[in-house]
């Protein structure tokens, strides 16, 4: 068959862990949950792979990659904060909410830089392009 070649957007890839031989797949969704609304599928490692577990790889631009990293880290910290609040509510006021303060601080700095408007030193056209990109970033972040 020749040398394997992965072409972005054209190749379907299946992921198998080298040491355990487990396949990346999705956990099945409960039928009751599916009727309620949109359900996110959870990725798991399983001993059986399925034909519909294929991934199509694509290359992202620098800004899209940065956006994904900011969103992922913010969502992680937000979920950690919400679960901490839930545990405080269940256990009472004597519990302590343990958040990684360094990560929260770095994430806030990333968000400030991410949503910073373009400087006044730019030419009008470049400034308009950056404002348009900033609006798109804000919309994407809001969607997530």
Question: pLDDT tens across 73-110, in order?
Answer: 888 888 888 888 888 788 766 667 777 888 888 888 88
Distance CA 13, CA 4 (A): 11
Cα–Cα distance for residue pair 15/108, rounded to 1 Å: 34
What's the pLDDT score for residue 116? Answer: 87
- Please compute the mean of the pLDDT values over residues 20-36 and round it to a whole number: 72
Mean pLDDT of 32-57: 71
In this prediction the pTM is: 0.50
Map residue 31 onto helix, strand or coil.
Answer: helix
Question: What pLDDT is attached to residue 19?
Answer: 92
Mean pLDDT score, 106-128: 86
* Sign of CA pseudo-dihedral 83, 86, 90, 93: positive
With beta carbons less than 8 A apart as the criterion, state whether 17 and 25 touch: no
For the ranges 34-43, 56-65, 118-127, the lowest mean pLDDT is seen at 34-43
Beta strand residue intervals within the chain, DSSP E:
12-13, 23-26, 43-46, 55-56
């Amino acid at each position: 068959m020749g040398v394997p070649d992965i072409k972005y957007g054209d190749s379907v890839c299946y992921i198998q862990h080298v040491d355990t031989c487990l396949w990346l797949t999705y956990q099945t969704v409960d039928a009751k949950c599916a009727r309620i609304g949109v359900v996110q599928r959870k990725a798991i490692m399983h001993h059986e792979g399925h034909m519909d577990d294929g991934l199509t790889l694509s290359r992202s631009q620098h800004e899209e990659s940065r956006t994904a990293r900011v969103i992922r880290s913010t969502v992680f910290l937000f979920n950690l904060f919400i679960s901490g609040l839930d545990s405080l509510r269940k256990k009472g006021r004597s519990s302590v909410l343990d958040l990684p303060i360094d990560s929260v601080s770095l994430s806030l700095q990333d968000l400030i830089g991410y949503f910073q408007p373009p400087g006044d030193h730019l030419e009008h056209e470049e400034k308009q392009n950056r404002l348009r990109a900033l609006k798109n970033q804000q919309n994407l972040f809001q969607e997530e």
